[in-house]
Every structure is written in structure tokens, then in C-alpha cells.
Amino acid sequence: MKRWTKPELGILKRNYSEKGAAYVAKKTGRPLPSVVAKAKELGITRNYMRRWTQFEINYIIKKYPDKPVDSIARSLKRSLQSVLGKARTLKILVPAPKAWSDKELELLKQLWTDKDLSVDEVAAKLNKTSTATHAMAWKMGLRRPEVWRFWTKEQTRYLVKNHKKKTYVQIAKDLGITKSSVFHKAKRLGLRIKKSPRPWTEPEDEYIRQHYKSLPAKEIALKLDRSTDVVMDRARKLGVRKNNKK
């Protein structure tokens, strides 16, 4: 068998761990089994660094910090440190929450049973996230009032008439009540209210800029978990167009 030259060994040592056997084989012209065997002989191991896909990045942006980091890691089949590192890179890493003070716990008891306040509004008054507030209330055994019971006949008729035309926020604003109240009443009546459009993220916009000209809009929509029409409309707003066929 042909002996390895110094330049070939240099390529192997510099690149095998990060770029793999296939890359070294291509650069040296050596068979793949020969590269693997030589690396094993020299005690060089492969550092497997799985690249983050756009789907995974979008998933973290959407779920973090409302979903526990360990749960995100399990869903993506990645390590906890890997998810935390990516969150830090995306600049969405949230520091560990501070312990609740006795004053905050007492205020939570008072606010949680107020039917005129939504969970978001209670959280804002406590300067906490909605998820943390809800979790603490559950831990303390607190229960929210059944806000759907306080609706008038006029408000109910308005909801039934407009649930397909307006969002939870719009209906709540028109009726002067909380979004949470609208949600629970609609659920009680079996109504499906028009959802507020999901905001576009910078990674999603960048994905469209990079791939809209080369990939079908349907495929991009599947990757981003959006409809094809919405993707095409976003591309127009971003000034991105398909290449014209001559």
C-alpha cells in the first residue's frame, strides 16, 4: 500500500476531527477506508458537531423561553448545553429567574382571582413572565375564576357574530374585557376565533432571501411551517422574486 506523505498526513491531522473522513479522502485522493484506518492508527477521532437546521432554529425562537430548555433539548434530540449555546448565539438566552419574594407571592394571591385581569396582565404587574406566573400559581394551588360566567347576553351575541371576522384581542378590546375571558367563552361555545398572524422572525426572512429563487415556495412553506400564499406574500414584501426563465 502506498505510504502516506507528510502533506497528506498534515491534511489528515488538520481536518479529520472537524470535517470528517470524506473531506480528507477527497483532498488526499485516498480511499475512504484508508483514511479511516490511518486516523484510527494515529488516535485521531471525529468531533461530531451536528449543524443546526433552519427548522431547529425556528423551533427555539418560537418555544424559548416559554418552554423549559430541557424539554426543547429532548424535542430536538440535542444536549441541554447545545440548546443553551444556540439560544445565546441567537441572543434570546434568558437568565435564571430570581426567587419569588414573600411580597410577590402575596400579591399573586390577590391578583390571580381577579376576573378582570388576564394572566398576562397579572404577570406584568409582578414583572414576571406569563409562564413563570402560571407555574407559581399552580404550585400554590391557586385557581382562576371561570370568566366565561360573567358575560352578558349582548357580549355573547357580539362574540358569536364577530368570531370569524376578528381576533381575540380585537373582540376583547371592543367589549372592554380581557383576552383570556374571550378565549374561555369562545371555547365554552365551541367557536373558533380568527387567529392573529404569527410575526415573522429575522431567521425566517433570511431563509426566504437565500432560498426563494432556488426552491419552490411550497417547499419553503413546509420548512417554515407556513402556508404557500403567506410565504409568497412575504417574499414580495422583502423584494425577493423568482428568477425569470428565458
Length of the chain: 246
For residue 136, the 8-state DSSP code is H
Cβ neighbors of 48 (< 8 A, separation 6 or more) are: none
Which residue, among 231, 245, 236, 240, has the nearest Cα to 213 in the 3D structure?
240
Cβ neighbors of 60 (< 8 A, separation 6 or more) are: 72, 76, 83, 86, 87, 90, 92
Please say whether the beta carbons of 231 and 224 come within 8 A.
yes
Per-residue confidence (pLDDT) for residue 122, from 0 to 100? 85
Give, for all 246 residues of the chain, the pLDDT tens digit: 688 999 999 998 888 877 778 889 999 999 988 998 998 888 887 765 667 888 889 888 888 867 778 888 888 888 777 888 888 888 887 666 678 899 999 999 998 888 777 777 888 888 887 778 888 888 888 877 655 556 788 888 998 988 888 877 788 878 877 777 788 788 888 887 666 667 888 888 998 998 888 888 888 888 887 878 888 889 999 998 876 544
For residue 10, the 8-state DSSP code is H
Measured between alpha carbons, how far is 104 from 110 in angstroms, rounded to an integer?
10
Please say whether the beta carbons of 83 and 76 come within 8 A.
yes
Per-residue confidence (pLDDT) for residue 138, from 0 to 100? 83
Please say whether the beta carbons of 105 and 140 come within 8 A.
yes
Per-residue confidence (pLDDT) for residue 149, from 0 to 100? 59
Q: Does the model's pTM come out above 0.75? A: no
Measured between alpha carbons, how far is 164 from 211 in angstroms, rounded to an integer?
34
Per-residue confidence (pLDDT) for residue 8, from 0 to 100? 92
Locus of grid cell 473522513:
21
Per-residue confidence (pLDDT) for residue 11, from 0 to 100? 92
All three cell numbers of 134, joined, read 402560571
Which residue, among 132, 93, 94, 133, has the nearest Cα to 112 in the 3D structure?
133
Locus of grid cell 355573547:
156
Per-residue confidence (pLDDT) for residue 194, from 0 to 100? 60
Per-residue confidence (pLDDT) for residue 167, from 0 to 100? 79
For residue 115, the 8-state DSSP code is T
Per-residue confidence (pLDDT) for residue 246, from 0 to 100? 41
CA-based R_g, the chain, Å: 27
